[in-house]
Amino acid sequence: MTIPFDGALIVVDVQNDFCAGGALEVPGGGDVVGPINGLLGKFAATVFTQDWHPPGHASFASSHPARSAFDKVELEYGTQVLWPDHCVIGSEGAQFHSGLKTDRADLIVRKGFRKSIDSYSAFFENDRTTPTGLEGYLLTRGIGKVCLVGLALDYCVRYSAVDAKKLGFETTVVESACREIAPGESGAEARAEMLECGVELIPAPV
């Protein structure tokens, strides 16, 4: 297994709210910054994604009376996990981690900005049909390979990797540059789905 440096590096949601002290802290989230910075500048293209939610977003537990964070509800597009308010547009929590070298980004894809629908994947919103535009960007640049890193492996990295593979991109995930919201069963499930779809999991850069 080798990293496809002739493809695109997709850096998923390395934002303050997913790091230490954030509203939706991913255990060890800030630890991915160093490994990711070490990969920047080595790929044909670099894309950052950024959760970007308006206040009162449908995925927020606070928008559902009598519901709590991490409950599941049925919305028009299917089952949705309810989250603490996080990555609200313009907030400090929505900003990229200060140690991340964001000047290396060729493109920033903001997702989840529609109030009524969440978006885990870098490619599609959670209805699985509304595109973010990333596929078109990569194809017009002649890029057929992607490598994913960031937060969190069991949600946004997972959905992005599975969608990338289904769209026909050669897809890898560097596990040492990812962390999980719920290490254990959730991470194992994510890895199993990615492997089943044909995503390559690379433990660490070589």
Residues classed as catalytic: 13, 111, 156
The neighbour count for residue 90, using CB atoms within 10 Å, is 10
- Tell me the β-bridge partners of 11: 48, 149
- Torsion sign over Cα 19, 16, 31, 154: positive
CB-hemisphere CA count at 13 Å for 7? Answer: 18
Q: Assess contact for 171 and 8: CB atoms under 8 A.
A: no
Distance from first CA to last CA of the chain, Å, rounded?
9
Distance CA 147, CA 41 (A): 13
Q: Assess contact for 30 and 167: CB atoms under 8 A.
A: no
The neighbour count for residue 198, using CB atoms within 10 Å, is 12
